Structure 1
Amino acid sequence: MYVCLVCNGMEVIKRNCTHCDNKMVDEGRVINQFDDYAPYMDDETTKLVDGDIYSKHKHLCLHLLKCSTCDYYLQAAVEEKYIT
Structure 2
Amino acid sequence: MAFCPICNGFEEIKIACSSCGNALMDNGRIMDYYDDYSPYMPIDQMKMEDGYPADYENRECPHLLKCAVCGMNVVRLIKE
Q: TM-score, normalized by length of structure 1? A: 0.92
| Residue type of the alignment partner of 1:23 | A
| Residue type of the alignment partner of 1:49 | E
| Residue type of the alignment partner of 2:52 | D
TM alignment of 1:4-83, pairs within 5 A: 4-80=4-80
Matched positions, count: 80
Residue aligned with 2:45, SS: helix
Distance in 2 between residues matched to 1:56 and 1:70, nearest whole Å: 31
Distance in 2 between residues matched to 1:71 and 1:49, nearest whole Å: 26
| Residue type of the alignment partner of 1:16 | A
Q: TM-score, normalized by length of structure 2? A: 0.96
Gaps of 5+ in 1: none
Shift of 1:51: 1.8
Distance in 2 between residues matched to 1:16 and 1:35, nearest whole Å: 28
Distance in 1 between residues matched to 2:78 and 2:65, nearest whole Å: 12
* CA offset digits 1:24-70 (Å, max 9, x no partner): 10010000011121111101100012221011000000000000100
| Residue type of the alignment partner of 1:32 | D
Distance in 2 between residues matched to 1:35 and 1:79, nearest whole Å: 24
Higher RCO by CA contacts (8 Å cutoff, separation 6 or greater):
1
